[in-house]
Homo-oligomer: A and B are copies of this chain.
Amino acid sequence: MTTVVELGKRAQKAASQLGQLGTVQKNKLLEAMAQALIEKTTVILEANQSDLAAASELPRNFVDRLTLTKDRIEAAAAGLRQVAQLQDPIGQVDKAWVNAAGLRIAKRRVPLGVIGIIYEARPNVTVDAAALCFKSGNAVILRGGKEALQSNLQLAAVLRGVLAANDVNADAIQIIEDTSHETAARFMELTEYLDVLIPRGSARLIHAVVNQAKVPVIETGAGNCHVYVDRNSDKKMAADIIVNAKCQRPAVCNAIEKLLIHQDVAAEYLPYIAAKLAPYHVELRGDDTTQKILGTVVKPATVEDWSTEYNDYILAIKVVASFEEAVAHINKYNTKHSETIITNDYQRSQQFLDQIDAAAVYVNASTRFTDGFEYGFGAEIGISTQKLHARGPMGLEELTTTKYVVRGQGQIRK
């Protein structure tokens, strides 16, 4: 089996070619990859069947994510075509100026180089991540969950086949075949060849990668998101946003986990909000005041609740005495993901946007909008909750870096 060092060397070599490919050529290749996926549906499904056969004992959710179908392969192909449509960030000039010495300086977008992606047993991520890395001119080394290995190898073989047939180094897309923990550990320390490592998946996976990696990591994910309902606010708007942010898709990171509500409106709003949540069978956990207002429909919240991301139909509620208490609570317990205030008070709206420390802060909107597609980026590799390099939804541009391109006429420094 190829060592990760060897994969790294090959990726680096492929990267130097990739960085020079034009947009038209990259788009044609992405379209050809989409076509190839459709044509190879049978062999892909066969590989997936062998993964599924070995995974029959695993939980239903897990097996569902591992499963490929004709429809899902078509969706992956459609995804490739969508990436072909995206604007190419490579070559874009962010700024350009002439300095005092007369040098023409331009800050030009270039690929990062080699990207490592670590993810779970989800074959669709293989195609998605490969497409985004390829379009942004980066070579990618993929380390997916071991249960999806046969599917991943077959999917990558199809994509690599398209590259090879078009005189592009197939090592632009590589899979780590050895899914042992030892190899994963070596992969995360491959500073000589990997420019960045992006873990995609559960909080546990991300945490493990952040802890182990020597390669710079872009941390994506965990969202302990809050909605704060201010004193001066629209009750119906508050309830609609809470229901949407909690129930539209509770398993994702931009769903809310906590409701903070100003004490002046808690008695009026909470029963109304609880009634709106009832059809979704949301388990409510509340502080003392909430329990007094809502009675037995609410369970007592413990101190652990305030820092927990449920990813489920659970909502913890706290009644706060002031706007300041809400801000302090959020900044103490949040995961710096997405936070929203429901208010009609101009001053409060500004203070919330200024004072809350998070990748995305909202006034009168659902936190569910924190998403590359919703923001209009056309794609998303994840939502960064760290502050370096990329913060919030990451599109193609976040998979690039810049270089200063400087044109002179013989200038020397005085």
Chain A residues packing against B (C-beta within 8 Å): 16, 19-20, 97, 99-101, 103, 105, 112-113, 195-196, 211, 214, 216, 218, 234, 237, 240-241, 243-245, 248, 331, 349, 353-355, 357-366, 368-370, 374-376, 386-389, 391-393, 401-413
Q: A100-B376, A376-B100, A387-B113 are in contact. Are A365 and B404 (CB under 8 A)?
A: no
The closest CB in chain B to the CB of A387 belongs to: B401
Of A19, A248, A391, most B-chain CB atoms within 10 Å: A391
From B331, B403, B406, give the contact of A369 (CB < 8 A): B406
User: Is the CB–CB distance between A406 and B361 below 8 Å?
Assistant: yes
Inter-chain pairs besides A100-B376, A216-B388, 16 sampled, C-beta below 8 Å: A99-B375, A112-B387, A234-B410, A241-B412, A243-B412, A349-B407, A359-B404, A362-B406, A362-B407, A363-B407, A365-B408, A368-B412, A368-B413, A369-B413, A388-B388, A388-B389
User: Is the CB–CB distance between B404 and A364 below 8 Å?
Assistant: no
Q: A100-B376, A195-B387, A369-B99 are in contact. Are A392 and B404 (CB under 8 A)?
A: yes
CB-defined contacts of A196 to chain B, threshold 8 Å: 387-388
CB-defined contacts of A393 to chain B, threshold 8 Å: 404
User: Is the CB–CB distance between B411 and A375 below 8 Å?
Assistant: no
Task: Tell me, in angstroms, the Cα distance from A386 to B409 when the chains sit together.
Answer: 28
User: Is the CB–CB distance between A391 and B403 below 8 Å?
Assistant: yes
User: Is the CB–CB distance between A365 and B195 below 8 Å?
Assistant: no
User: Is the CB–CB distance between A388 and B195 below 8 Å?
Assistant: yes
CB-defined contacts of A245 to chain B, threshold 8 Å: 412
CB-defined contacts of A412 to chain B, threshold 8 Å: 240-241, 243-245, 248, 365-366, 368
CB-defined contacts of A370 to chain B, threshold 8 Å: 404
Task: Tell me, in angstroms, the Cα distance from A97 to B374 when the chains sit together.
Answer: 12
